[in-house]
Amino acid sequence: MPIITISRGAFSGGQALSERVASVLGYRCVSREVLVEASARYGIPEAKFTEVLETLPHWWERWQESLRLYRIVLQAAMCEVAQGGNLVYHGHAVPIIHKFFYITPVENPGIAFGMDFGPEFKTTISILTIVATIGLLIYFIKLRKEDFFIRLSVAVILGGALGNLMDRIFYGYFYGYGTILSGNVVDFLDLRLFGFFLLNKTFGIYIFNIADIAISIGVSGLLIAITKKRRETKQNNIAEVKNNLTTDQGEF
């Protein structure tokens, strides 16, 4: 049962090559996402899938029964996908800084921090995101006379929110697996800080996108700007009170 694997990098054309090879040979074309879905059916979260698939086990993991079971289940998921052979598999994390930063394209069906409420809530989440984005846009318009740094921070947040919103609205429809408002957000920046596994969840491995960075920077900048403005307002009020007291004393 022939199986062809193609390791591809971001913007390398590997997906198009895989699809062409599969078309010529009459094989199935299987992406990394299909393997992720198969692993999910066995209860392996995507972050754990990435860690187990691409990282060699440490010596202390030999005594951790849960991790050993994860690797066995992952093998079962691979066998499920490869059953019958005649397939072309493509997709792999691209190391930028070894064991620290990778390019790993994944689809996030949930919201922030990987929280997923299930496919039945995807449209609801998209609608709520649209409402929140419109509210943020109205708030931005009302800030025309505010400090530049506050307006810039809100603009950066709005840009990031719009980027993720476009994925939620159109991604599923364009790629033929869903309707309008049922798409997943595409994340690809894979940061691996320490990979700590606890309570059936992996901590320290975060996959996000540029829109997420923009939102984080914008929120941080907005908090700094608001804190600075409140401090200046408080100082101005204190100075005004002191000036009034001085004026009153001068009159007496």
The active-site residue, picked from 116, 190, 212, 248, is: 212
CA 232 and chain centroid, separation: 36
- Residue closest to 49 by CA, chosen among 66, 73, 15, 14: 73
Active site residue 212: yes
The active-site residue, picked from 167, 187, 190, 248, is: 187
Half-sphere exposure of 55 (CA within 13 A, CB side): 21
**Strand 94-97 to 101-108 pairing:** antiparallel
DSSP annotation of 93 reads -
Return the structure tokens found at 185: 């957000």
- Residue closest to 155 by CA, chosen among 137, 177, 173, 135: 137
Active site residue 190: no
CB-based contact 226:171 (threshold 8 Å):
no
Q: Which residues are catalytic?
A: 187, 212
